[in-house]
């Protein structure tokens, strides 16, 4: 495509940065292309809860002035980035997709947001998600579900569905999400983009609306592996404001991107190829493993024997921490406050009106698990299982550098298909949850499409703080294939496009 007819919203971060450096495009032009794409697609996709157009235009003008002087702050200077609406943003509404925070405007930035601002990124808006990041489909948002740009009757995955959709649909060039049990990797797989969950402690959690504090981790979405590496470099690093932040130097992750896999030891967990998996997902992932082997990787089977207990352990640990974290929403200090005559009634009504059904369900589960008489039987036992899961990974990594598996057992399911059965919904994360329990880095990259044209995700799992090996394997596979070049059909998402329904999936290069 020539520069004259190029759609700037379809560029990768790396390509856009190069064009900005050469003065072939301006930050303003890229931003306006993304805003135009948002205007054309939002009536259908509903990826954004807040579009900060004027703030973004101001930031783009400042970036263009720096670029004109030849003084860019970083490769992200002038690049439109979206934020999941759990990132606290100074002066911009932050809702966590909940009625209880519907009108909350924070007075400060999360550390990760501040780092993006320092590097000149243009913050285009806040994306939709499951309420308080509790969900696997972005259907639990108090403001309505987000739709998958590949097929409008499908979910985008959750909880960071809006961020994945925004990147896939060209509404921004990159985005941030959070991953507590698969909430970056699952939407990345369902939407055909790259999503990376770093090691717990690699990226600051300060200023993130908390769900489960020992599991939550911030990570990027990008159109390809290099974009994910660029964003991770900007986000990573010690933060004295976060006591769980690791005081380790940040590698130059782009240096790990090489097109070969010579010497890389790849493990394939037997337990991740389960009965009931969609056949096209299994075949797509196995073909991807064969590609890595052809690139020089040594592939062997490994076992993670405690995998079957991960879902049960996760939904005890996560809900217990949610019960504790969400106690702060009392209708007194900030957020929604219901009219009432007594303090107790204020608490009750504010939470009753402010929290959605799934959030209430998880608070009750967690409170029960932490209650007297049940703490040892449930929460403590779940933490012991968590230790066993971590040891499984430790043993596997004695013989491997990276593990590869499906990101999800199926491609994106239909809107409403699992909302009536919470347990079935929870099982959507069966292949991603263990990584969070063990605090490991993981990512999802595109590795195919099913018969309906829906993306298939390949999950890669690394050692603690082993993001470089993860990125190396992902980049080698990506360069040997062209799945990352597929994009949803732009006409499908446009306001004047056909209505979503079965068979509406489609791809364009």
Domain edges within the chain: 43-260+278-308+384-494
pLDDT at residue number 496: 56
Q: Would you please indicate which residues are annotated as catalytic (active-site) residues? A: 84, 159, 183
Interval 98-111: pLDDT, tens = 999 999 999 999 99
- pLDDT given at position 506: 47
pLDDT at 423: 84
Q: Would you say residue 497 has pLDDT above 90? A: no
Average predicted confidence (pLDDT) for the chain? 94
Buried b (16+ CB within 10 A) or exposed e, 82-105: bbbbbbbbeebbbbbbbbbbbebe
The predicted pLDDT at position 111 comes to 98
Is the Cβ–Cβ distance between 323 and 367 less than 8 Å?
yes
Q: What is the pLDDT of residue 500?
A: 41
Nearest-5° Cα angle at 92, 90 to 94: 100
pLDDT category at 96 given cuts 50, 70, 90 is very high
**Is residue 42 scored above 60 in pLDDT?**
yes
| Cα 239 to Cα 257: distance, rounded to the nearest angstrom | 26
pTM of the model: 0.95
Q: What is the pLDDT of residue 275?
A: 86
Lowest mean pLDDT among 2-16, 51-65, 101-115: 2-16
In this prediction, residue 429 carries a pLDDT of 93
Question: Considering the domain 43-260+278-308+384-494, what is its CATH architecture?
Answer: Alpha-Beta Complex (3.90)
Radius of gyration of the chain (CA): 21
Round to whole Å and give the CA distance between 162 and 45: 9
Residues 6 or more apart whose CB falls under 8 angstroms from that of 384 comprise none
Answer yes or no: is pLDDT of 234 > 60: yes
Look-up of token digits 């998996």: 277
Would you list the DSSP string of 191-219? HTSEEEEPPTTTB--TTBPPS-TTT--EE
- Cis peptide before 159, with omega less than 30 degrees from 0? yes
């Amino acid at each position: 495509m020539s520069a004259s007819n190029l759609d700037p919203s379809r560029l990768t971060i790396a390509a856009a940065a190069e064009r900005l450096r050469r003065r072939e495009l301006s930050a303003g032009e890229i931003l306006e292309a993304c805003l135009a794409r948002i205007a054309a697609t939002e009536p259908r996709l509903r990826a954004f809860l807040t579009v900060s157009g004027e703030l973004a235009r101001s930031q783009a003008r400042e970036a263009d002035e720096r670029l004109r002087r030849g003084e860019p702050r970083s490769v992200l200077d002038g690049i439109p980035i979206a934020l999941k609406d759990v990132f606290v943003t100074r002066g911009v509404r932050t809702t966590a997709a909940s009625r209880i925070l519907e009108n909350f405007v924070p007075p400060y930035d999360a550390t990760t947001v501040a780092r993006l601002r320092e590097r000149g990124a243009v913050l285009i808006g806040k994306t939709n998600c499951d309420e308080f990041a509790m969900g696997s489909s972005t259907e639990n948002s108090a403001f309505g579900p987000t739709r998958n740009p590949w097929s409008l009757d499908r979910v985008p995955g959750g909880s960071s569905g809006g961020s994945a959709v925004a990147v896939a649909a060209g509404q921004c060039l990159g985005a941030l999400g959070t991953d507590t049990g698969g909430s970056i990797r699952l939407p990345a797989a369902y939407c055909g983009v790259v999503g990376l969950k770093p090691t717990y402690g690699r990226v600051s959690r300060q200023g993130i609306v908390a769900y489960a504090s020992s599991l939550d981790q911030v990570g990027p979405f990008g159109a390809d592996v290099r974009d994910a590496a660029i964003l991770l470099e900007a986000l990573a690093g010690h933060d004295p404001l976060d006591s769980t932040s690791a005081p380790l130097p940040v590698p130059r992750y782009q240096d790990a991107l090489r097109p070969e896999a010579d010497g890389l030891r790849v493990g394939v967990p037997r337990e991740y190829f389960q009965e009931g998996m969609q056949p096209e997902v299994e075949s797509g992932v196995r073909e991807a493993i064969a590609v890595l082997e052809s690139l020089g990787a040594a592939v062997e089977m490994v076992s993670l024997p405690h995998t079957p207990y991960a879902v049960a352990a996760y939904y005890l640990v996560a809900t217990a921490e949610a019960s504790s974290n969400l106690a702060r929403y009392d209708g007194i200090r900030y957020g929604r406050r219901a009219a009432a005559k007594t303090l107790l009634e204020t608490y009750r009504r504010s939470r009753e009106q402010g929290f959605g059904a799934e959030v209430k369900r998880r608070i009750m589960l967690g409170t029960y698990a932490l209650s007297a008489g049940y703490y040892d039987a449930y929460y403590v036992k779940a933490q012991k299982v968590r230790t066993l899961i971590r040891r499984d990974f430790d043993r596997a990594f004695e013989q491997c550098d990276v593990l590869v598996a499906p990101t999800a057992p199926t491609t994106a399911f239909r809107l409403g298909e699992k909302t009536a059965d919470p347990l079935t919904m929870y099982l959507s994360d069966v292949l991603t949850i263990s990584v969070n329990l063990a605090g490991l880095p993981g990512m999802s990259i595109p590795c195919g499409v099913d018969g309906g044209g829906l993306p298939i995700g390949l999950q890669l799992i690394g050692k603690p703080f082993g993001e470089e090996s993860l990125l190396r394997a992902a980049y080698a596979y990506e360069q040997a294939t062209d799945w990352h070049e597929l994009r949803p059909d732009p006409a499908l998402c446009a306001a004047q496009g056909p209505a979503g329904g079965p068979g509406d999936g489609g791809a364009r290069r």
